[in-house]
Amino acid sequence: MAEKGDESLIIVMGPGATPEDVAHVIERLEEIGAQAHVSEGQFRTVIGAIGDRDQIQQLPWEAMPGVERAVPVLKPFKFVSRDFQAEDSVVEVGGASIGGGRFAPIAGPCAVESRDQLFASAAAVAEAGAAILRGDAFKPRTSPYSFQGLEEKGLELLAEAREEFGLPFVAEAVDPRDVGLLSSYADIIRVGTRNMANFTLLSELGRQSRPVLLKRGFTATIEEWLNAAEYIYKEGNHQVILVERGIRTFETASRNTLDITAVPILRGLSHLPVLVDPSHSGGKRELVAPLARVAAAVGADGMMVDVHPTPDTAQVDGAQALLPEEFEEMMDTVRRIAAAVGRRA
């Protein structure tokens, strides 16, 4: 974890910087209570800034005369970093665990549409070995005219399915005012990709006790994603699970580009568990099984998959939902790959 005493910014002065330029930088640092450690090289001066990282990085160093570059040397997130906690975090929920050598499959319909649809899907995924049920009652949609979810009625159906099939469930929150409602029903609360940078929602989720499954913003860098996790963690809720779900790139052959490299990168940067969503990244049914195999092979802690009894009539994202029998078949191969990398699925 970042200590107050560390150098948190290295300010490299240009070859033409004057002594006044150097003095100006030192003065600005002292104004905010930071210390300057000055090293004069043969051709350029380098200033290490020691003090409160956030205050230091806030000032516009590169706009100051004589400054060539200002290089942050500490990450902006703290509690979620591997430096703060060396061992992997494990989230335990309703008999299931995420992290700690397991490969946890989460499965179910994208949106809860009806009791029949939910129960058919839940029965199938329970049978095929899913650890946790997914299903949303609130859907944030790009168009205001699309189906927005069954709301509280949907949560009630999910709670019924939990009783019936013995699976804890995860559902999405889209409004800070609904967090209380969600946490009274769901076992895990999900933050969708469009809300990853909704800081008021994140803070609210940090102040309740359900684990939070934080999907990556489809346009967020890994650093921004860990900053979002930090918003939850620093409020006191340490049960945060990350889900890679694809990023927006120039390629349009798939809906998004699954950034599978993010998983080993996160392993190095953070102690939080990491899942992969093979359904929403590709956006097409035939891509789900290959991407699920990839999730197991890379060493993720699990995956989240859309399964729908009749995808052709799904109100949300049917094009990518697996049929129950497809999910079951896929799980066989996924288990063999998880075993090859030393995990139980």
Per CB under 8 A, contacts with a copy of itself among 258-287 are 258-265, 268, 281-282, 284-287
Applying CB under 8 A, the span of 102-110, 117-125, 182-190, 244-252 interacting with a copy of itself comes to 244-252
- Looking at residue 62, the DSSP 8-state letter turns out to be G
Interface with a copy of itself: number of residues (CB under 8 A): 112
Strand, helix or coil at 51?
Answer: coil
User: Within 13 Å of residue 38, how many CA atoms lie on the same side as its CB?
Assistant: 13
Footprint of a copy of itself on 74-103 (CB under 8 A) = 76-78
Footprint of a copy of itself on 202-221 (CB under 8 A) = 203, 217-219, 221
Using CB under 8 A as the binding rule, whether residue 7 contacts a copy of itself is answered as: yes
Which residue has 């699970």 as its token pair?
241
What the block records as the tokens of 309 is 């009894």
Applying CB under 8 A, the span of 101-109, 119-127, 163-171, 295-303 interacting with a copy of itself comes to 295-303
Quick one: which of 33, 95, 166, 290 contacts a copy of itself (CB under 8 A)?
A: 290
117 Cβ neighbours under 8 A, 6+ residues apart: 109, 308, 309, 310
For a copy of itself, the closer of residues 153 and 340 by Cβ is 340
For a copy of itself, the closer of residues 92 and 341 by Cβ is 341
Long-range contacts of 193-200 (CB under 8 A, 24+ apart): 193/217, 193/218, 193/245, 193/280, 194/140, 195/140, 196/220, 196/224, 196/225, 196/228, 197/224, 197/228, 199/228, 199/231, 200/176
Alpha carbon distance 173, 5 (integer Å) = 39
46 Cβ neighbours under 8 A, 6+ residues apart: 10, 11, 12, 13, 38, 39
Minimum distance, C-beta of residue 215 to a copy of itself, in the bound complex (Å): 13
Minimum distance, C-beta of residue 101 to a copy of itself, in the bound complex (Å): 16
What the block records as the tokens of 118 is 């939910």
Minimum distance, C-beta of residue 114 to a copy of itself, in the bound complex (Å): 15
Footprint of a copy of itself on 24-83 (CB under 8 A) = 28, 31, 35, 37, 39, 41-44, 46, 48, 50, 53-54, 58-60, 62-64, 68-69, 71, 73, 76-78
Alpha carbon distance 105, 126 (integer Å) = 10
Footprint of a copy of itself on 149-188 (CB under 8 A) = 174-177
Binding mask 112-141 for a copy of itself (x = CB under 8 A): ----------------------------xx
